[in-house]
């Protein structure tokens, strides 16, 4: 089985400093949905791991988060792709939970759900915490320069062997070839 882990905001869709709080605010980055379709068609299972502290902060309800994810699923399906599972941390940053990236809780859930180690698996993100989490899980950290990616590339120490690509579409072309 081939598996890939993607962050959501800044990788699949445009990020917002005010949080993506409604389905209408969720807008895909050009080429990202088609990239997920290419992964699916190449035999990859696609898991999304995303911090969603807006829920814990009271900025959106769980039903709204589910509606956002339903929209993402529908749009990916419309281009021939599939997201197999979405794992999210709904807690605020000060909750000290084990599931908020860079802590490994979400990745441990993904590993258990798919019954496999994430060692060497591509893990795509746009922030330092995404890459740190990938490294903790022994995955292959991949930074995309969309979202917070350019700032991350300039201001953070990247984990060893981090690959860097312009966007998810470019990363996927590398992964599946």
Report domain extents, the chain.
2-176
With a pLDDT cut of 70, the percent of the chain lying above it is: 100
**Mapping DSSP to helix (H, G, I), strand (E, B) and coil, where does residue 146 land?**
coil
pLDDT, tens digit, 9 for 90 and up, residues 155-171:
878 999 999 999 999 99
User: Looking at residue 71, what is its pLDDT?
Assistant: 98
pLDDT, tens digit, 9 for 90 and up, residues 45-89:
999 999 999 999 999 999 999 999 999 999 999 999 999 999 999
Question: What mean pLDDT value characterizes the chain?
Answer: 96
What distance in Å separates the CA atoms of residue 62 and residue 68, rounded to the nearest whole number? 10
Residues making up the chain, counted from first to last? 177
Token pair 């941390």 in the structure block, residue: 89
Q: Are 30 and 144 in contact (CB under 8 A)?
A: no
What distance in Å separates the CA atoms of residue 106 and residue 33, rounded to the nearest whole number? 22
What distance in Å separates the CA atoms of residue 118 and residue 106, rounded to the nearest whole number? 12
Q: Which residues are catalytic?
A: 7, 9
Q: Are 85 and 110 in contact (CB under 8 A)?
A: yes
**Mapping DSSP to helix (H, G, I), strand (E, B) and coil, where does residue 35 land?**
helix
Q: Are 132 and 121 in contact (CB under 8 A)?
A: no
3-state secondary structure 75-110: HHHHCCCCCCEEEEECCCHHHCCCCCCCCCHHHHHH
- Look up the pTM and report it: 0.96
DSSP tag of 60: S
What distance in Å separates the CA atoms of residue 6 and residue 76, rounded to the nearest whole number? 14
> Beta 44-51 vs 2-6: how paired, if at all?
parallel
Domain 2-176 is found in CATH 1.10.3720.10: no
Confidence of residue 1 (pLDDT cuts 50, 70, 90): confident
């Amino acid at each position: 089985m081939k598996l890939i882990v993607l962050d959501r905001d800044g990788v699949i869709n445009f990020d917002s400093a005010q949080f993506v709080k409604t389905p209408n605010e969720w807008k895909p980055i050009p080429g990202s949905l088609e990239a997920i379709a290419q992964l699916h068609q190449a035999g990859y299972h696609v898991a999304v791991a995303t911090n969603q502290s807006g829920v814990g902060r009271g900025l959106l309800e769980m039903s709204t988060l589910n509606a956002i994810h339903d929209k993402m699923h529908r749009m990916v399906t419309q281009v021939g792709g599939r997201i197999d599972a979405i794992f999210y941390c709904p807690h605020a940053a000060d909750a000290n939970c084990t599931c908020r990236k860079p802590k490994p809780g979400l990745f441990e859930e993904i590993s258990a759900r798919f019954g496999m180690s994430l060692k060497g698996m591509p893990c795509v993100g746009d922030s330092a915490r995404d890459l740190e989490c990938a490294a903790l899980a022994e995955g292959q950290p991949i930074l995309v320069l969309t979202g917070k990616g350019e700032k991350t590339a300039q201001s953070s120490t990247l984990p060893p062997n981090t690959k860097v690509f312009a966007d998810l579409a470019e990363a996927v072309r590398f992964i599946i070839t």
